Chains A and B, each alone.
Chain A
Amino acid sequence: MTAGQPRLVEVRLNVLKKNDVLARELRNRFAESGVRVISLVSSPGSGKTAFLEKILSGLRQEFRVAALVGDLATENDASRLARSQVPVKQIVTGTICHLEAEMVRNALEGWDLHALDFLFIENVGNLVCPSSYDLGEELRLVLLSVTEGEDKPLKYPTIFNTADVAVITKIDLAEAVQFDWMLAERNIQLVRPGMQILEVSAKTGEGMNQATDLFVSLLAGATTKK
């Protein structure tokens, strides 16, 4: 090699390979254990915790449910979710703005996944960073509250695209903020054609049954596959 002359080497190095491999391992583990794993992403304040509180309280009557919740600095969300009397573990991410597969794996240490029907993972409130990280979940929900405006999907297309279901929250406030349903749905379809949309209010309970039904239908799917 000539001194000082750099040589160009072609490689194919997937930067997120480590996370992708871990996420695949988690997905296999979840499938083997028969637990359905659902993650939630949204901007801060869209109502992930309120939504999840209601869902956990409802599902725990009939199913074995648990939750992991990511937060930058506090354990407030975990305390709120613990009120629904299901096992909850907080993942305090420090300055990290998203969850990664490794954090999920570490948080699950010591948990018997076979003893669960559902595991919910609440990501850090952020519509940018979580989009790059697969957590091994089966279903990813992206929440959008009516107070945030109809153009959120266009502003954060990547996260909407990585999600499977859009949940429009706080619909009890829709009229007050003159929420344009048609526009919101059109924007969602533009960034994720065919995406299923749920409309809920955790406060009044409206639409929450449809959300619960969607999760329960995952279990039915598992039974048919077997």
Chain B
Amino acid sequence: MHELSIVLSIIDGVTEEAKLRGARGVSAVHLRLGALSGVVKPALLFAYDLACEGTLLQGSQLIVEESPMVVHCPACDADRTVESPQSFRCPVCGAYAANISRGHEIQVVAMELV
């Protein structure tokens, strides 16, 4: 249950960015969450509301965009989206593909400021 730590980092980062831009408050935070991030969305949302209390983010909405895992297939020499982290195989040719191009990200991509 490290989602609370993650949420606290989100709040710190967003507060800093929002203050830099002279915002009085934050109404929404858009977060991109990779399939390999190790973060569970419901736990994140659960921790978010509580942790935001008393901060610039109080009452804001956390909008999570889950992004799939992308691997580089050595046989096809192409990036392929993989459905599940339980199988690192190219969905086109079936080869094992160990090189991850995307999927680890825990990234705030936008904020809605008031």
Contacts and interface: CB of A to CB of B under 8 A. Distances in A.
Q: Are A and B interaction partners?
A: yes
Interface of A: 4-18, 96-98, 100, 128-129, 131-133, 154, 157-159, 161-162, 189-194
Interface in B1-15: 1-2, 5-6, 9-10, 13-14
Contacts of B100: 161
User: Does more than half of chain A's interface fall in helix, strand or loop, or is it mixed?
Assistant: mixed
Q: Which 4 A-B pairs have the closest CB atoms?
A: A193-B96, A129-B2, A13-B108, A131-B38
A6 B27 contact: yes
A133 B38 CA distance: 10
B107 A12 contact: yes
B110 A10 contact: yes
Contacts of B2: 96-98, 128-129, 132-133
B101 interface: no
A9 B18 CA distance: 9
Contact of A16 (B9, B85, B87): B9
Contacts of A4: 114
A202 to B, nearest CB: 27
A12 B114 contact: no
Contacts, number: 102
B48 interface: no
B113 interface: yes
A14 B107 contact: yes
B37 interface: yes
Contact of A11 (B88, B98, B108): B108
A6 B113 contact: yes
B36 A13 contact: no
A10 B98 CA distance: 32
Nearest to B108: A13
Interface in B34-63: 36-39
B77 to A, nearest CB: 16
Contacts of A131: 38
Contacts of B17: 9, 11, 13
Contacts of A161: 36, 85, 88, 100
Given A129-B2, A131-B38, A11 B112 contact: no
A158 B38 contact: yes
A6 B109 contact: no
Contact of A10 (B5, B13, B109): B109
A56 to B, nearest CB: 28
Contact of A96 (B5, B9, B31, B89): B5
16 contacts: A7-B112, A7-B114, A9-B110, A9-B111, A11-B110, A12-B107, A12-B108, A13-B13, A15-B107, A18-B9, A97-B1, A133-B2, A158-B36, A161-B85, A190-B86, A193-B98
